[in-house]
């Protein structure tokens, strides 16, 4: 991105007060070997503490403004290592995944997986009438699209939250559905990883813990989204520590400090008025604590930057004139700089 926008982002968010946190960490990266974990193409390490952490992005930030072809070039230029697209972005390649795989390979990026919800795919894990279609359509997509890419995990959302919250019988059906999909996809080398999400059936801590209790760890893993865990009233570091062996990937998202420890999840209507998500450093998530856990426990896998695209009223949007194209790059700049300066991730200087 343009140098002026980068400098503006640094000044606006006062990153340099953290710069000394990098001391003593930079030399370590030079002695670490390349990382090639969970089916990813070989990548040089970016974390000077744990070389087996890989870094990518979902397409949620830019999908409203740019296509996947743009994202492949931009994410590669930023030094990130992989992309987890949403299903609409890959639809035109669905019948010929080798064309898209060639683009990723040429850019040196990994296709991490594709979030579920593809055209014709049921995401209802609770309604007995829909569950057979949910299982069949998930298994088919894994075989026809994810397996040719060598994907080894699959982040799955599980539809809308039942009114009043899910009953235990509904959670049992959800767990049984996950177990059956996972039983079939693990034979392809793909670990199904449900994604606790506000406004979904796995929103609050009791629901997450119940589903993890009811699912077989041989077939079902977990996508831990730091923002959604916090917005659901959980301590992200605690939950991630408790289920660490079952974490398939980490979504890195922040929120506001006021949502820490909440007993009532912010509503979708509130989110429409003003985003409940925040760029990294928003104060809701203990992001350094998350990385301490991942480093100390020697996490081996993906950490994926994930937040919604910019819109009016979001952090910094108005100060850059409300230009969505500029805002997308500015948001990327902010979060890349946070990872570089606060966390010490060895991403290259912004271009």
* Residue 26 pLDDT exceeds 80: no
- The reply to whether 34 falls in a domain is yes
Q: How many residues does the chain have?
A: 351
- The reply to whether 349 falls in a domain is no
For 110, the domain range is 3-342
pLDDT band at 307 (very low <50, low <70, confident <90, very high): confident
* Residue 159 pLDDT exceeds 50: yes
Q: What is the mean pLDDT of the chain?
A: 87
Nearest to 29 by CA among 11, 50, 8: 50
DSSP state of 161: P
pLDDT band at 37 (very low <50, low <70, confident <90, very high): low
Alpha helices in the chain (DSSP H): 3-13, 26-29, 68-77, 87-90, 97-107, 131-141, 147-149, 168-185, 205-214, 226-231, 236-242, 268-273, 287-296, 324-337
pLDDT band at 12 (very low <50, low <70, confident <90, very high): very low
- The reply to whether 321 falls in a domain is yes
Residue 9: the pLDDT is: 36
Whether the model pTM is above 0.95: no
* Residue 91 pLDDT exceeds 80: yes
- The reply to whether 351 falls in a domain is no
Nearest to 255 by CA among 283, 288, 224: 283
Return the CATH number at 271. Answer: 3.20.20.150
Cβ-based neighbours of 87, under 8 Å, separated by 6 or more? 114, 115, 116, 117, 118, 119, 121
Residue 17: the pLDDT is: 37
What confidence tens digit (pLDDT) does each residue in 53-76 have?
999 999 988 888 899 999 999 999
pLDDT band at 13 (very low <50, low <70, confident <90, very high): very low
Is residue 214 helix, strand or coil?
Answer: helix
Specify the higher pLDDT residue, 69 or 323.
69
- The reply to whether 270 falls in a domain is yes
- The reply to whether 260 falls in a domain is yes
- The reply to whether 350 falls in a domain is no
pLDDT band at 160 (very low <50, low <70, confident <90, very high): very high
- The reply to whether 142 falls in a domain is yes
What confidence tens digit (pLDDT) does each residue in 260-280 have?
999 999 999 999 888 999 989
Number of domains in the chain: 1
* Residue 315 pLDDT exceeds 50: yes
């Amino acid at each position: 991105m343009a140098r002026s926008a980068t400098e503006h982002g640094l000044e606006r968010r006062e990153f340099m007060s953290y710069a000394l946190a990098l001391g003593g960490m930079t030399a370590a990266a030079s002695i670490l070997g390349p990382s090639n974990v969970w089916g990813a193409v070989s990548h040089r390490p970016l974390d000077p503490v744990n070389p087996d952490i890989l870094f990518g992005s979902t397409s949620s930030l830019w999908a409203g403004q740019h296509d996947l072809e743009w994202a492949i070039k931009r994410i590669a230029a930023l030094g990130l290592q992989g992309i987890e697209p949403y299903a609409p972005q890959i639809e035109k390649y669905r019948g010929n995944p080798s064309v898209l795989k060639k683009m990723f390979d040429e850019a040196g990026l990994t296709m991490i997986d594709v979030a579920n919800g593809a055209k014709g795919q049921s995401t209802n894990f609770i309604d007995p009438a829909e569950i057979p279609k949910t299982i069949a359509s998930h298994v088919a997509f894994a075989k026809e699209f994810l397996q040719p890419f060598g994907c080894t995990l699959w982040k799955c959302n599980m539809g809308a939250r039942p009114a009043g919250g899910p009953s235990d019988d509904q959670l049992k059906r959800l767990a049984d559905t996950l177990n059956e999909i996972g039983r079939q996809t693990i034979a392809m080398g793909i670990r199904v990883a449900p994604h606790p999400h506000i406004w979904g059936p796995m929103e609050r801590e009791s629901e997450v813990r119940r589903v993890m209790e009811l699912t077989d760890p041989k077939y079902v893993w977990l996508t831990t989204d730091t923002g959604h865990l916090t917005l659901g009233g959980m301590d992200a570091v605690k939950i991630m520590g408790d289920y660490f062996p079952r974490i398939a990937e980490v979504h890195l998202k922040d929120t506001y400090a006021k949502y820490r420890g909440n007993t009532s999840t912010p509503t979708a209507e509130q989110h429409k008025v003003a985003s409940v998500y925040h760029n990294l450093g928003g104060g809701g998530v203990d992001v350094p604590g998350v990385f301490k856990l991942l480093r100390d426990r020697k996490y081996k896998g993906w950490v994926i930057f994930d937040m919604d695209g910019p819109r009016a009223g979001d952090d910094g949007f108005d100060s850059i004139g409300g230009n969505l194209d500029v805002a997308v790059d500015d948001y990327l700049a902010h979060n890349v700089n946070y990872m570089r300066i606060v966390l010490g991730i060895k991403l290259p200087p912004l271009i």
